[in-house]
Chains A and B, each alone.
Chain A
Amino acid sequence: MNSLFMLLVVREARLLCRRPAELANPLVFFAIVIALFPLAVGPQTQLLQSLSPGLVWVAALLAVLLSLDGLFRSDFEDGSLEQWLLSSHPLPVLVLAKVMAHWLFSGLALVLLSPLLALMLGLPGRCLPVLLASLLLGTPILSLLGAIGAALTVGLKRGGLLLALLILPLYIPVLILGSGALQASLQGLPVAGHLLWLASLAALTITLTPFAIAAGLKISVSE
């Protein structure tokens, strides 16, 4: 089981490296959205700084959502998913490996890029550890929740907008906790509560969503 997990991660890594645009698109999107805000609201440092927790989180959330639309699409079109369904390995484990591999290469890159963009918005350096921690805990949740929508919409020709409509409401708690932690750290308040809540949400999604994703894929493939 462990070796299959590693094989799948290696396979996903190969696929992403051979089509780097898929890897880069969400990151560029993330950077551009963040860069748009100073242009729109004006360069007042005070205003941008107080807005920055929300801005970074909303941009990260949209970037994750953008990257998820194609998560299962190519596997669906080339028949890989049918082979997954008939495999001797449990489908929830396979999808968990797939989503975590995807997160390792897109979500993690997003997290690593975020301090740079947050500094651009004037977030003080002392808040960066909290930013990294909240995104590290939050982006896997976003990926896993989004994968449920991706699994359900994979059979549709244009599932992108539907995916956003299905999944964005589910992102609200993560957004509140993530940006809340950052806001608290900006005001010098304790952040442990927010981060612990995020961690418990992460544990919950890692254990439960693979079953929902697997069920969604079964429905999509059997259509």
Chain B
Amino acid sequence: MSSPFLEATALSCERDWRLLFENLDIRLDAGQMLQVSGPNGSGKTSLLRVLAGLRPPTSGTVHLKGQPLARRSGELADDLLWIGHAAGIKGLLSAEENLAWLCALHRPASREQIWQALEAVGLRGFEDVPCHTLSAGQQRRVALARLYLHGPPLWILDEPFTALDKQAVSQLEDHLAGHCRNGGLVVLTTHHSLSRVPDGYRDLDLGQHGA
């Protein structure tokens, strides 16, 4: 049997001497979506950061494509896209400048592709406005525009729906489901219940697991 794309074994995580979760096993294959839910402070963001390799787990291992995450640090950008709660968007730079930099950092993209991605998230006409003048929802859209560029298969998104309006939420849900249909993987946290989910959808409730 081939190893799954993302596999976490016996994960546990401590924060400030408090056990957030323990003995967590996650297997995720192409086409699957994992929604991590749970009350505030139950360790959703910590789990996502562990899966993205931004934070070492207290115990347990994370394997990506059968290899330990820690040993793949240089190649992570080929497999994994992380958009945290703070998404790396500079308020002083324009939407286009922000995206151009993030693309240069991860995967090169042309100016046209960046403009198309911005149009896809409904930011046409806001390309060269400094991001601090945009609303919170629009700033989130700038970060989410990365999902409309040619990207890696695994998306790890921390609260991607924050501050988005209804129409943008349903558009993003469609886009995530479409990504899974095309063989991608999505791990996300959100408090709202998704209305459109792909076949490989699973839910992980940390509130029940950790306590």
Chain A interface (Cβ within 8 Å of chain B)?
3-4, 7, 11, 14-15, 18-19, 74, 77-80, 82-90, 221-222
Could you tell me if B52 and A86 are in contact, using CB atoms closer than 8 angstroms? yes
Chain B interface (Cβ within 8 Å of chain A)?
49, 52-56, 74-78, 80, 82, 84-93, 97, 100-102, 104-107, 130
Could you tell me if A78 and B74 are in contact, using CB atoms closer than 8 angstroms? no
CB distance from B43 to the nearest CB of A (A): 15
Query: Which among A11, A79, A90 is the interface contact of B86 at CB below 8 angstroms?
Result: A79
- Known contacts A83-B82, A86-B82; decide if A15 and B93 are in contact (CB<8 Å): yes
- Known contacts A86-B82, A222-B56; decide if A79 and B104 are in contact (CB<8 Å): no
Could you tell me if B88 and A82 are in contact, using CB atoms closer than 8 angstroms? yes
Query: Which among B74, B80, B88, B97 is the interface contact of A14 at CB below 8 angstroms?
Result: B97
If A7-B101, A77-B86, A79-B84 are given as contacts, then 7 extra A-B residue pairs at C-beta distance below 8 Å, sorted by A number, are A14-B92, A14-B93, A15-B93, A80-B88, A86-B76, A86-B82, A88-B77
Query: Which among B54, B87, B100, B130 is the interface contact of A86 at CB below 8 angstroms?
Result: B54
Could you tell me if B74 and A88 are in contact, using CB atoms closer than 8 angstroms? yes
Instruction: Enumerate 27 A-B pairs (CB-CB under 8 Å) in ascending A order.
Output: A4-B104, A7-B101, A11-B97, A15-B90, A18-B92, A77-B86, A78-B87, A78-B90, A78-B91, A79-B85, A79-B86, A79-B89, A82-B54, A82-B84, A82-B88, A83-B82, A83-B102, A83-B106, A86-B52, A86-B53, A86-B76, A86-B80, A86-B106, A88-B76, A88-B77, A88-B78, A89-B105
Complex CA gap A14/B131 in Å reads 14
